[in-house]
Amino acid sequence: MLKKLHASLSVIVLVLSITSNARAQGANLSGAWQLTVDGKPRTSVLTLTQSGNTVYGTLAMRGERGKIQNDQIEEGKLVGNTLTFSFMHEQVRHHATALISGNSMKLDITGKSDDQVFHATASR
């Protein structure tokens, strides 16, 4: 009796784990995301297209001269509820890690050096 109960509980835990992982993997990030960087609303838009766990797109944001630049998203990958990608902005490679929660995400973006980190939020 105890062995059957233990086996049943193990199956339930396994099913819940698989279902939870499938939901996270099933997230669809495609679309436009409005960004706020370091608490300052800007005219920055992250436009994503997702194919499975691969994510690509553009990041439209103002450069130092005030002109909107469309930076290509590279190496975009979704694992669970974490998105990672990189992009070039004004000849500097940036790396981003985003934690996805429904229709919002929190991003940490490294700048010219690994100790220069920008914090951003995005929503759609």
Q: What is the CATH number of domain 28-123?
A: 2.40.128.20
Distance CA 90, CA 104 (A): 26
- The whole-model pTM stands at 0.73
Given a cut of 90, is residue 26 above it in pLDDT? Answer: no
Distance CA 89, CA 67 (A): 12
Could you tell me the residue ranges of all domains in the chain?
Answer: 28-123
β-strand pairing of 40-51 with 68-79: unpaired
Of the pLDDT bands very low, low, confident and very high (cuts 50, 70, 90), residue 40 is confident
CA pseudo-torsion sign 89, 94, 95, 97: negative
Per-residue pLDDT tens for 65-74?
778 889 999 9
